[in-house]
Structure 1
Amino acid sequence: MLTSKLEVLVDFGPKPEQKILDKTINDLKSQDGVKEVIFKDGALMIETTLPSADVLDIVTKTSGKRAVLQGFGDSQSAVAMLSSQSCCSGRVLGVVRFQHTAEGLVCDGAVDGLAEGEHGLHVRHSGDLTEGCQSLGEHFNPHGSPHGAPDDPPSLRHAGDLGNIVADENGRATFRIQDNVLKIWDLIGRSVAVTERRDDLGRGVSPTSKIDGDSGRPVACGIIARSAGIFQNPKRICACDGVVVWDERDRPLAGKGRRKCCEKHDEKRENGTGDAEKPCCKV
């Protein structure tokens, strides 16, 4: 099984307590699927076959500290931030990461807000979000093949066919998929989408089985962009709005509540009592 290298930043403070650090490292090393753990530059480098979301949960529970994924893979990595794009009655959010290796591609992610059960996961032809998830085009299919399963040969599957992910009773799906057809350089600028229903992998009797696995409309999608590998992203604060990396984990992606340090200043500025030119956040 292909391994991934994760850079997990942990809120140990300026001087980590050695007892907690050792406990966290030892607990990680005891997990099936964890190959190596190293502490470097305030972060844990973890080589693993586990989904990154599961690794973050282990680190958080063992250390009692906040943890965020700062880097994924050695190089040639990509990421997509998924959202429902106002397409549905519910709110679906998630992150999907891709890593290129000499042995194949790793697709790793977590999606929240789904209905319990299986949902199709597909790379789509374009990154056009002008009409939300409905304008992404067909499945990425450079070989002109029928829809199929991830383990089918390229002549019997779309390159973008990644099978199904499974949401638990809380609506959360964590997954790690290996693929030998997709290439990281083919993904940048395209999109990835999660569908409302299970993908029948082209084995069904529906007229759309060989088109999209009868998996229904996308309920969340996002554009695939390049991302940082391990120890390639030194950023600890968002220069755009002053949100530090620890607060980023607990803030909405946009809108009210995103910039708490700015709200009072913004309110004064709107009332004509504040300095419009004064930056509202320290960066």
Structure 2
Amino acid sequence: MATSAKLEFAVQMTCQACVDAVTKALEEKDGVKSVDVSLDRGIVIVETTMPSDAVKSTIESTGRLAVLLGMGGSNQSQWGAAVAAMNVGSERSKGVVRMVQTSDETCVFEGTIDGLPPGRHALCVHEMGDISKGCSSCGEVLGAGLSEKAKGMLSELDVGKDGRAMFRLDNTDLKVWDLIGRSVIVHQGTDPNASNRLVCGIIARSSGLFQNSKRLCACDGVSIWEERDKPLAGDGRTNYPFRN
């Protein structure tokens, strides 16, 4: 059974009707365990096994904008969270991979990557976060050569004609605190090697639950609502993370 996590969203809500609409849309989804909405603070907390982008899309289907602020374990303990912006090595393939330690044992990996070629592709954690030579300088798959299956081999992404991979998986071999400063790479095909690295990103610390109160991005001073509309993928799809 998939491990649930809590996701914290800032949501544009102005009245009780907004609260009711968001709550109803979320509670109708399989995989949603609980919904806690604060109209005064404009915050929605969702405990779920769904990918965060799927939850965001559900909220926005009610006509309200939503931005992911933080993630954490279902019991609200702060084991740690991290994020990799997948924007190196490809002009077309862009996206985000998020990691949250939901317990001492389980790290949840989830994300959305657009602009990938159709087919099955390997998603891997690599030893280093060195992108000085693009994805080629990120080292080997984490744990390669130490076991029959390297622990950095996370999953195979099944990409359709739309070029989008949306995924969520539980991992008991890796911990968030051991991943900071490493990298995530999508390899073309299911056999990762040095010549088939499609897109990569450095793993950096991210906000856990209730750790991100920002409403202006420190990078450029725009509001979180303006930030979410900035294109990240080459096909014009909007930005996934709120940059801390």
Fold in common (TM above 0.5): yes
> Which TM-score band applies after superposition, normalised by the shorter structure?
0.7 to 0.9
Please, which of 30, 34, 39 is the counterpart of residue 36 of structure 1? Answer: 34
Q: Partner of 2:8 in structure 1?
A: 7
CA distance in 1, matches of 2:230, 2:25: 29
Cα displacement (A) at 1:216: 5.2
Q: Partner of 1:202 in structure 2?
A: none
Pair 1:216–1:31, CA change in 2 (3 A): farther
Pair 1:252–1:57, CA change in 2 (3 A): closer
Alignment-mate amino acid for residue 84 of structure 2: A
Q: Partner of 2:163 in structure 1?
A: 171
TM-score between the two structures when normalised by the length of structure 1? 0.74
CA distance in 1, matches of 2:194, 2:114: 18
5+ residue gaps, structure 2, are 233-244
CA distance in 2, matches of 1:215, 1:44: 42
Q: Partner of 2:175 in structure 1?
A: 183
> Superposition pairs for residues 8-27 of structure 1, below 5 Å?
8-12=9-13, 16-27=14-25
Does structure 2 conserve the Cα–Cα contact (< 8 Å) formed by 1:119 and 1:215? no
Please, which of 78, 84, 90 is the counterpart of residue 80 of structure 1? Answer: 84
Alignment-mate amino acid for residue 161 of structure 1: M
Please, which of 104, 107, 122 is the counterpart of residue 106 of structure 2? Answer: 104
Pair 1:60–1:187, CA change in 2 (3 A): same
Does structure 1 conserve the Cα–Cα contact (< 8 Å) formed by 2:136 and 2:194? no
Does structure 1 conserve the Cα–Cα contact (< 8 Å) formed by 2:51 and 2:111? yes
CA distance in 2, matches of 1:184, 1:193: 16
Alignment-mate amino acid for residue 82 of structure 1: M
Does structure 2 conserve the Cα–Cα contact (< 8 Å) formed by 1:106 and 1:177? yes
Cα displacement (A) at 1:167: 2.2
> Superposition pairs for residues 1-283 of structure 1, below 5 Å?
1-12=2-13, 16-40=14-38, 41-61=41-61, 63-73=62-72, 74=76, 75=78, 76-83=80-87, 85=88, 87-88=89-90, 90-102=91-103, 103-141=105-143, 144-145=145-146, 155-197=147-189, 199=190, 212=192, 217-252=196-231
Does structure 2 conserve the Cα–Cα contact (< 8 Å) formed by 1:94 and 1:110? yes
Q: Partner of 2:241 in structure 1?
A: none
Alignment-mate amino acid for residue 42 of structure 2: G
CA distance in 1, matches of 2:194, 2:122: 6
Paired residue secondary structure (1:156): coil
Cα displacement (A) at 1:220: 1.0
Alignment-mate amino acid for residue 228 of structure 1: S
How many pairs were matched up? Answer: 223
CA distance in 1, matches of 2:227, 2:160: 25
Cα displacement (A) at 1:215: 9.2
5+ residue gaps, structure 1, are 146-154, 200-208, 254-283
Q: Deviations over 1:237-277 (max 9, x none)?
A: 11332211011111146xxxxxxxxxxxxxxxxxxxxxxxx
Does structure 2 conserve the Cα–Cα contact (< 8 Å) formed by 1:105 and 1:182? yes
**What fraction of aligned residue pairs are identical, expressed as a percent?**
43
* Bigger Rg, structure 1 or 2: 1
Pair 1:68–1:159, CA change in 2 (3 A): same
Alignment-mate amino acid for residue 50 of structure 1: M
CA distance in 2, matches of 1:191, 1:226: 12
Cα displacement (A) at 1:91: 1.2
Q: Partner of 2:240 in structure 1?
A: none
Q: Partner of 1:256 in structure 2?
A: none
Q: Which has the higher helix share?
A: 1
Across the aligned residues of Structure 1 and Structure 2, the Cα RMSD in angstroms comes to 1.7
